[in-house]
């Protein structure tokens, strides 16, 4: 008997250019899982989530397409993965409503990402507040078993697991309990400009991050200007040398070399030499992505998304009918 394939689901918000933090934390795993026969993989551009922060609708429309294009340039292949836009599959919003009725507000009040965003000045809204419920709906809709994400999504994943268990107890055993897949190193890549906060799309300072479509020259400049410290020894010490420690983690995750071997090689050679090596490693890692990006045209991306939405709706509708039946919203005979 052949074992049933496990389902992988993950998402990315089209809120800005995708960056190297997300690449090391999540997207690299997206591609690896696609190549593993043990999994059916589903990746989603979560445009409904992106609407929870202020945005310009014209720019947004372009961003959605660009994000899909970048996901394809990273190596996601529409023949092997299901790729689609969240807003084109209305079952996401329907399931989010149902799960919302099972979510205590006390749990949402403890969500650190919500609190961080409001502290940074993002207007608090019902959408921003219930962001994790929609995320749980994304994951549970297709009965995902495994969710490749960066460390910052841990709490949201925990909530998705709780909601799955809560639903199963209250109504019927419908959902598997999803597991997060978080890498051991580089699960939380820090900002190049302020290594005590995470690399992020929303930081107004573009020097905080390497975008996946940055040119080699821009990558070199950004790494050269990355904030470090005044003791020029390359060694890992998160407390006193957060900038160098971040670069060591990035270099280690990019090349597969251990932090010890990198510290041995670059220890006393000065920061300039080390930074050059980090920049060249990133440039080499992203070279195939840049090439693929140039080859992709918008019409082809749009076609892939249309086909993806059609397939995702068909599959979501089948799953969602089980949910409706379980909660008493089944067909009226
Ligand atoms: P988003 O678009 O903010 O980030 C996409 C992925 O990149 C990871 N990531 C990082 N990893 C390491 N270091 C960093 N500095 C870094 N910054 C971002 C994120 O952890 C994420 O995996 N809430 C999700 C989107 C989402 C989702 C889902 C994910 C909506 N529904 C269902 C999985 C399953 C997010 O904020 O993505």
Given pLDDT bands bounded at 50, 70 and 90, which one contains residue 3? Answer: confident
91 DSSP β-pair partners: none
Q: In this predicted model, what pLDDT tens digit does every residue of 59-70 receive, in sequence order?
A: 999 999 999 999
**CA-CA distance, 86 to 90, in Å (whole number)?**
8
Ligand 1 pocket: which of 7, 8, 12, 128 to mutate (most atoms within 8 A of CB):
12
| Mean predicted confidence (pLDDT) in 21-36 | 98
Of 141, 132, 133, 139, residue with least CA distance to 179: 139
Type and span of the H or E element at 310: helix 298-327
**Residue 62 CA to ligand 1 centre (angstroms):** 20
Q: Spell 235-246 as b/e; 16+ CB within 10 A means b.
A: bbeeeebbbbbb
Q: In this predicted model, what pLDDT tens digit does every residue of 185-212 receive, in sequence order?
A: 889 999 999 999 999 998 889 999 999 9
* Catalytic member of 69, 117, 222, 241: 117
* Catalytic member of 6, 69, 198, 222: 198
**Residue 12 CA to ligand 1 centre (angstroms):** 6
Given pLDDT bands bounded at 50, 70 and 90, which one contains residue 1? Answer: low
198 is catalytic: yes
Q: From the CB of 146, is ligand 1 less than 6 Å away? A: no
What is the pLDDT, as a whole number, of residue 296? 97
Backbone angles phi, psi at 181, to 5 degrees: -120, 105
pTM: 0.97
């Amino acid at each position: 008997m052949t074992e049933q394939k496990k389902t992988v689901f993950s998402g990315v918000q089209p809120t800005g250019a995708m960056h190297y933090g997300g690449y090391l934390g999540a997207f690299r795993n997206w591609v690896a899982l696609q190549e593993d026969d043990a999994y059916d993989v589903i990746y989603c551009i979560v445009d409904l989530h992106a609407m929870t922060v202020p945005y310009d609708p014209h720019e947004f429309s372009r961003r959605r397409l660009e994000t899909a294009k970048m996901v394809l340039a990273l190596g996601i292949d529409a023949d092997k993965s299901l790729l689609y836009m969240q807003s084109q599959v209305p079952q996401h919003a329907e399931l989010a409503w149902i799960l919302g009725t099972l979510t205590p507000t006390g749990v949402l009040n403890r969500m650190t990402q919500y609190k961080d965003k409001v502290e940074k000045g993002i207007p608090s809204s019902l959408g921003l507040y219930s962001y994790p419920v929609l995320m749980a709906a994304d994951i549970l809709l297709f009965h995902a078993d495994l969710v490749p994400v960066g460390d910052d999504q841990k709490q949201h994943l925990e909530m998705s697991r709780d909601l799955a268990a809560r639903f199963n107890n209250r109504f019927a055993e419908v959902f598997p309990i999803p597991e997060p897949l978080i890498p051991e190193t580089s699960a939380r890549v820090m900002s190049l400009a302020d290594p005590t906060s995470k690399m992020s799309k929303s930081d107004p300072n573009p020097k905080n991050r390497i975008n996946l479509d940055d040119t080699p020259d821009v990558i070199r400049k950004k790494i050269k200007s990355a904030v470090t410290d005044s003791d020029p020894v390359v060694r890992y010490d998160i407390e006193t040398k957060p900038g160098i420690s971040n670069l060591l983690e990035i270099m280690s995750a990019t090349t597969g070399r251990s932090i010890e071997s990198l510290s041995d090689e670059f220890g006393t050679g000065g920061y300039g030499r080390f930074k050059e090596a980090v920049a060249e490693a990133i440039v080499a890692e992203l070279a195939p992505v840049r090439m693929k990006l140039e080859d992709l045209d918008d019409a082809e991306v749009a076609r892939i998304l249309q086909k993806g939405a059609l397939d995702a709706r068909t599959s979501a509708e089948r799953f969602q009918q089980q949910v409706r039946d379980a909660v008493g919203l089944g067909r009226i005979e």
